[in-house]
Amino acid sequence: MDRIVNTKIKTAFAKSGEVQIELIQPLDGDNPYTEFLARRGEGIHHLGFKVDDIEQAKAEFAKKGMEPFFSGDLVVMKFAYYDTTEFGGLALELLWGQTEI
């Protein structure tokens, strides 16, 4: 399902070793982050994982019947969120490209 979102968010990043923390503050518009806040309140929204080939990774998820609920191509990076809350407790994000702070 393709979903077009017109929104503004503010982000902040911190890194310790191989772990990067991303704080996201929705500022305007409806998006997965405002929906999460309305449904569950503040907390961990997703875990992100870098992949070498996002299209191949998305194809592997599709083979298992999973489609992203939110994705984007920001030229220097691509992302895709999957709803894994049923068995993982939160969403999973695939990341490709320039994802380092």
What pLDDT tens digit does each residue of the chain (101 aa) get?
566 778 899 999 998 988 889 999 999 988 999 999 999 999 999 999 999 999 999 999 999 999 999 998 888 999 999 999 888 889 999 999 976 64
Is the residue at 46 inside a domain?
A: yes
3-state secondary structure of 60: helix
3-state secondary structure of 90: coil
Starting at the edge strand found earlier in the chain, the sheet holding 91-97 runs 46-50, 91-97, 77-82, 70-73
- Residue 2: the pLDDT is 60
State the number of CA atoms in the 13 A half-sphere of 92 facing the CB: 18
Residues in contact with 60: Cβ distance below 8 Å, sequence separation at least 6, in sequence order: none
Q: Quick one: the chain helix, strand, coil %, rounded to 5?
A: 25, 40, 35
Q: Which two tokens stand for residue 33?
A: 């982050």
- Residue 100: the pLDDT is 64
Q: Which domain holds residue 90?
A: 8-97
Is the residue at 39 inside a domain?
A: yes
Strand 46-50 relative to strand 91-97: parallel, antiparallel, unpaired?
A: parallel
Is the residue at 24 inside a domain?
A: yes
CATH of the domain at 41: 3.10.180.10
Domain count, the chain: 1
Is the residue at 1 inside a domain?
A: no
Is the residue at 52 inside a domain?
A: yes
Is the residue at 2 inside a domain?
A: no
Is the residue at 31 inside a domain?
A: yes
- Residue 99: the pLDDT is 66
Is the residue at 3 inside a domain?
A: no
